[in-house]
């Protein structure tokens, strides 16, 4: 089996999974959620128990994260209410992405633990990645480059417009 060497990935993981704040380590999700500056932090929606946040290092345009407010490192620690809320927010995220960017499908899941690929392992979160027919091309394979075709704030505007549309229909 051939292995692709990508040392940038470990630097990426270490760069934002924990940040020093004096001697105390601060979770990037907890910090973003506490700031209540949703546009700057790319927070699309907040429920009582979780938030839909845009991934600042997306695999595809519109890559969203469902982040419970409670700082918990494992899936098993989430309460039944938190789990149910994550599923409600996942459903909303998919609905917003369908309205905003019309993907052909989605990847949904979580990387539980650092060895599974979790960049922020200390705060469990879930990924919703929109997919389109033919969205994989030669760039990642030959040039080690992923092309993200839309500005994050442009995507945020599309998603918040879709959210306003969903709210007016209810």
Q: Cβ-count burial of 13 within 10 angstroms (0-12 exposed, 13-18 middle, 19+ buried)?
A: middle
> 99 with 165: CB under 8 angstroms?
yes
Which residue bears the tokens 């309460």? Answer: 79
| Helix 152-169 with 80-101: angle, nearest 10 deg | 110
Kindly list the catalytic residues: 125
Residue 131: strand, helix, or coil: strand
Residue 45: strand, helix, or coil: strand
């Amino acid at each position: 089996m051939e292995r692709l060497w990508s040392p940038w990935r470990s630097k990426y993981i270490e760069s934002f999974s924990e940040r020093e704040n004096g001697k105390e380590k601060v979770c990037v999700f907890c910090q973003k959620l506490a700031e209540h500056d949703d546009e700057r932090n790319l927070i699309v929606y907040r429920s009582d128990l979780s938030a839909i946040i845009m991934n600042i290092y997306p695999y595809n345009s519109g890559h969203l994260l469902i982040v419970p407010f409670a700082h918990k490192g494992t899936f098993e620690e989430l309460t039944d209410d938190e789990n149910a809320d994550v599923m409600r927010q996942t459903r909303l995220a998919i609905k917003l992405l369908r309205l905003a960017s019309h993907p052909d499908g989605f990847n949904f899941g979580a990387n539980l633990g650092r060895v599974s690929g979790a960049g922020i392992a200390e705060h469990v979160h879930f990924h919703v990645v929109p997919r389109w027919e033919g969205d994989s091309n030669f760039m990642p394979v030959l040039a080690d480059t992923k092309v993200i075709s839309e500005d994050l704030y442009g995507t945020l505007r599309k998603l918040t417009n879709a959210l306003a549309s969903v709210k007016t229909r209810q």
